[in-house]
A = this chain, B = another copy of it.
Amino acid sequence: MTDHTPAPVETESRTNALWGGRFASGPAEVMERINPSIDFDRRLWREDILGSKAHAEMLVAQGIISAEDGAAIAQGLDDIWGEIESGQFKFSRALEDIHMNVESRLRELINEPAGRLHTGRSRNDQVALDMKLWTRGAIDDLEVELKALQAALIGQAEQHTDTVMPGFTHLQVAQPVTFGHHLLAYTEMFGRDRSRLADARKRLNESPLGAAALAGTPYPIDRHRTASALGFDRPAANSLDAVSDRDFALELAAAAGICATHLSRLAEELVLWTTQQFRFVRLSDAFSTGSSIMPQKRNADAAELVRGKAGRVLGAFTALAVVMKGLPLAYGKDMQEDKEPLFDAVDTLGLCIAATAGMIADMQANPAAMRQAVEAGFPTATDLADWLVREAGVPFRDAHHVSGSLVKQAETRGCGLADLPLDVMKAAHPALDERIYAVVSVEASVNARTSFGGTAPVRVREQVAAARQRFLDGDGS
């Protein structure tokens, strides 16, 4: 993610407002607290300067401002970039937002030509531009992070294509699966998350610059030129739409929220798997925490935080949607509220992805514990039923009844299905014979599930290779 700019914001009482002398008195104190956005939108400084440079360059090319003015503006903006990067820039709350902070400093640095930079644009298209550029960058960063998470998952999956664990439904032991297979399920989910991000990126990639306040501008600007210079596919086709909508922010927040629910599910599993009761994996010391009061504790704090932080990402979507609900066109100040939720959603998601990737990469699986758990759960009862269907032509529903009755007997005897004597088997259904003991073993069950996408090690090895190719070597989509 783009970092927060560390330089502090100066609080000064507003001496000259941006909109000049029609107002007899200055803003109320509470206005000075509620109105400025510089505390959070200074994070957009890079985007703001890049946008201004592209705009100035176009103004020169179109003959709207002189080459000299253009050069002065470019140099001034570069200087400001340097000042902000080095922490020397003084952000001022009186100047409200990042746009006016930069422009005001530009005026100090280069005087009159600074006033010409704003020709043919407005803060409305400027802020839309900055937000789109930032959102695009955030998507690119998240893409990289998700890929790293997929790499961690695929790495572990590769080591555990043959490690048998209980597959759960309703958190009850259902059928044996391989640990690699289980981890690859998440690789698929994060693959769709990447694809959602990529789609959102494509959709937002139209430049609002030049929409001006809302209606376009009488200056002979070239919106295609600035669009291209800033990496957009094209300029937005309608100036009112360009300054009025924030669906790109909503879409990213929604995609982030969906990804966060995926992460929360993996986090829940990590919490479960590291309990005394499951012991399926052990997180590295680097991702475990202790207790200030209970010396024996080894907590999966990071997993819990990832699980919990789904809340704030989803809350950001709610917040943004409520902001936009019922707003008439074009720009309304409500839309200033688009920034903090989106920034927080992106920061939070990035952190959660990184933490999850770290946990996954470092974790140690415990195949013995997985094996013990799978043996205890009658997970091959379905295999027994399936065998009756296949070998004896019994309709599945009937075979299910037979198998269920044998599970009940095994439960009563406190043994596994494979431990039931053959006469008990035969009493349940006469077609059952010695061959069934091979079927109800955990290995047999896993190895048999060779349908496409199934859990058989042979399939999982193929899936690992395919996932590596699609997600790590390819473009992730």
Interface contact A455-B291, CB-CB below 8 Å: no
Q: Decide: A211 near B295, CB < 8 A? Known: A31-B302, A311-B337.
A: no
- A114: min CB distance to chain B, Å: 8
Not counting A185-B244, A185-B329, a sample of 5 additional A-B residue pairs whose C-beta atoms are within 8 angstroms of each other reads A172-B275, A192-B247, A223-B451, A311-B321, A315-B316
CB within 8 Å of B: which A156-213 residues: 166-177, 181-182, 184-189, 192-193, 195-196, 199, 203, 210-213
A133 at the interface (CB under 8 A from B): no
A269 within 8 A of partner (CB):
yes
* CB-defined contacts of A293 to chain B, threshold 8 Å: 118, 122-124, 212-213, 382, 385, 396, 400
The contact sample of 21 A-B pairs, CB cut-off 8 A, is A22-B405, A27-B285, A30-B358, A35-B301, A107-B397, A116-B389, A118-B292, A120-B451, A167-B215, A170-B299, A175-B213, A185-B329, A196-B203, A213-B293, A218-B383, A265-B324, A277-B278, A293-B382, A296-B379, A315-B318, A326-B326
Residue from B251, B271, B299, B453 in contact with A238 in the complex, judged by beta carbons closer than 8 Å? B453
Contact A386 B219 (CB under 8 A): yes
Give the contact stretch, choosing among A43-51, A78-86, A255-263.
Answer: A255-263
CA distance A172 to B467 in the complex (A): 34
A214 and B308 CA atoms in complex are apart in Å by 20
Q: Which residues of chain B are near A310, meaning CB under 8 Å? A: 321-323, 325-326
Within the complex, the shortest CB–CB distance from A392 to chain B, in Å, comes to 13
**Complex formed: what's the CA distance from A39 to B49 in Å?**
30
Give Cα distance in the complex from A184 to B264, angstroms.
Answer: 28
- What is the bound-complex CA distance between A309 and B326, given in angstroms? 11
Segment at the interface with B among A12-20, A134-142, A418-426, A430-438:
A12-20
Instruction: Say if the beta carbon of A449 comes within 8 Å of chain B.
Output: yes
A474 CB → nearest B CB, Å: 14
- Decide if A101 is an interface residue (CB 8 Å cutoff): no
Within 8 A of B (CB), among A283-324: 284-302, 304-312, 314-324
- Contact across chains for A247 and B395 when beta carbons are under 8 A apart: no
A173-B276 in contact (CB<8A): yes
Interface contact A18-B383, CB-CB below 8 Å: no
Residues of B within 8 A of A35 (CB): 289, 301-302, 305
Shortest distance in angstroms between A458's beta carbon and chain B's nearest beta carbon? 11
Taking a contact as CB atoms under 8 Å apart, the answer to whether A28 and B287 are in contact is yes
The answer to whether the Cβ of A403 comes within 8 Å of any Cβ in the partner chain is yes
A29, chain B: closest CB distance, angstroms = 8
Contacting pair B305 A408 (CB below 8 A): no
The 8 Å CB contact of A326, one of B27, B242, B307, is B307
Nearest residue, chain B, Cβ from A304: B333
Interface membership of A334, Cβ < 8 A: yes
Q: Which of B176, B216, B316 is within 8 Å of A454, CB to CB?
A: B216
Is A355 in contact with chain B by the CB < 8 A criterion?
Answer: yes
